[in-house]
Structure formats: C-alpha cells, structure tokens
C-alpha cells in the first residue's frame, strides 16, 4: 500500500510527464521546412537527450520533489500568517508557475458536490405526505411539489 507521500509523488510525476509532453512536442507545422530537410550527424547531446527521454520516470519524480520544495519555500518565504484563510482557488491562480502541482491542487481542492437540493426536496415532500395525507398517489405528490417549487412564477 502506498503512503500519501508516495501517492502524491507518483501522481505529480505523471502530471509532470503529461505537462512536458504537451509543451515539448512540436507540431509538424511549427518546424520550418529548412530544419526538416537538413539532417545532422547524431552527437553526444542527442545521445544524452535520448537517454533523458527514455528514463523519464526518475526525472519526473525528481521534478515532482523539486516542485514540492519550491512550493514549500514559497510558503516559508511569504511569511504571511493569514495564508490559511486565503481562498485556495485564488492562491493557485496567482501561482500558476507551479503548473503540475497547480493542476493537482485544483483537482483535489475543488468544491465537493452537494446533496442539498435533494434533501430539501425530500423534506418538502415529507410535508405533503403526513399521516392525514397518506392516501395521496405519487402523481399528486409530484404535482403538489411542482406547484410548491414554482408558486412564485404562478402568482
């Protein structure tokens, strides 16, 4: 079983790989024709670049650690005591330079889905279905609830 720390590193590493693939992959339209035609003899830099892309996972893990360190240093350097009350969305909009961590934070810090409207509907329909009105059919309850919800539009 993965610890939370390892899970964050793994997910952030995969986000970094995705982010790097999106930003580094040049389209065929963006490369000038003069560069497409010329071929050069592979050198040491090409070999190192190929090795770096083949072993992308350790680099992504190292990048994940570096991004987390940058985030922690920003928090320490800011010295603000009210940062806990700062809205998370606003904070991550201003710190977009931590892009993969930004995407992960917005994924997990987003507003959770709520069931308030459905609870409200059941409590309102509970008023219609009391002990006195236990013989109402489902269609009648639906119509009463519809009228109750839209009474401000009807009147």
Counted domains in the chain: 2
Q: Is residue 70 part of a domain?
A: yes
Alpha-carbon separation of residue 50 from 2, 26, 46, 115, 123 (angstroms) = 31, 16, 6, 51, 63
In this structure, the answer to whether residues 67 and 100 fall within a common structural domain is: yes
For the chain, the average pLDDT equals: 70
Confidence band, pLDDT 50/70/90 cuts, at residue 112: low
| Domain range enclosing 146 | 116-154
In this structure, the answer to whether residues 89 and 135 fall within a common structural domain is: no
Confidence band, pLDDT 50/70/90 cuts, at residue 83: low
Q: Is residue 36 part of a domain?
A: no
In this structure, the answer to whether residues 141 and 76 fall within a common structural domain is: no
Q: Is residue 35 part of a domain?
A: no
In this structure, the answer to whether residues 102 and 134 fall within a common structural domain is: no
Q: Of 143 and 106, which is predicted with more confidence?
A: 143
- pLDDT given for residue 147 in this prediction: 87
Positive/negative CA dihedral, 142, 147, 149, 150: positive
In this structure, the answer to whether residues 58 and 12 fall within a common structural domain is: yes
pTM above 0.75, yes or no: no
- pLDDT given for residue 79 in this prediction: 56
Q: Is residue 57 part of a domain?
A: yes
Instruction: Quote the tokens at residue 2.
Output: 């993965």
Residue 28 has pLDDT above 60, yes or no: no
Q: Is residue 73 part of a domain?
A: yes
Q: Is residue 87 part of a domain?
A: yes
In this structure, the answer to whether residues 19 and 77 fall within a common structural domain is: yes
Alpha-carbon separation of residue 132 from 66, 75, 121, 122, 128 (angstroms) = 67, 61, 20, 18, 9
Average pLDDT over residues 81-96: 66
Residue 18 has pLDDT above 70, yes or no: yes
Report the distance separating Cα 24 and Cα 18, nearest Å: 10
Q: Is residue 72 part of a domain?
A: yes
In this structure, the answer to whether residues 70 and 125 fall within a common structural domain is: no
Report the distance separating Cα 12 and Cα 104, nearest Å: 7
The length of the chain is: 155
In this structure, the answer to whether residues 59 and 121 fall within a common structural domain is: no
In this structure, the answer to whether residues 62 and 134 fall within a common structural domain is: no
């Amino acid at each position: 079983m993965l610890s939370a720390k390892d899970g964050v590193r793994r997910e952030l590493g995969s986000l970094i790989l995705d982010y790097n693939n999106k930003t580094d992959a040049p389209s065929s339209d963006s490369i000038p024709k003069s560069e497409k035609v010329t071929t050069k003899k592979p050198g040491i830099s090409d070999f190192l670049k190929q090795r770096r892309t083949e072993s992308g996972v350790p680099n992504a893990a190292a990048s994940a650690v570096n991004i987390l360190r940058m985030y922690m240093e920003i928090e320490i350097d800011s010295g603000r005591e009210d940062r806990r009350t700062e809205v998370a969305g606003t904070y991550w909009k201003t710190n977009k330079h931590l892009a993969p961590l930004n995407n992960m934070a917005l994924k997990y810090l987003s507003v959770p889905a709520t069931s308030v409207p459905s609870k409200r509907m059941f409590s309102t329909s509970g008023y219609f279905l009391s002990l006195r009105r236990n013989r109402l059919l489902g269609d009648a309850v639906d119509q009463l609830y519809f009228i109750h919800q839209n009474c401000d539009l009807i009147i």
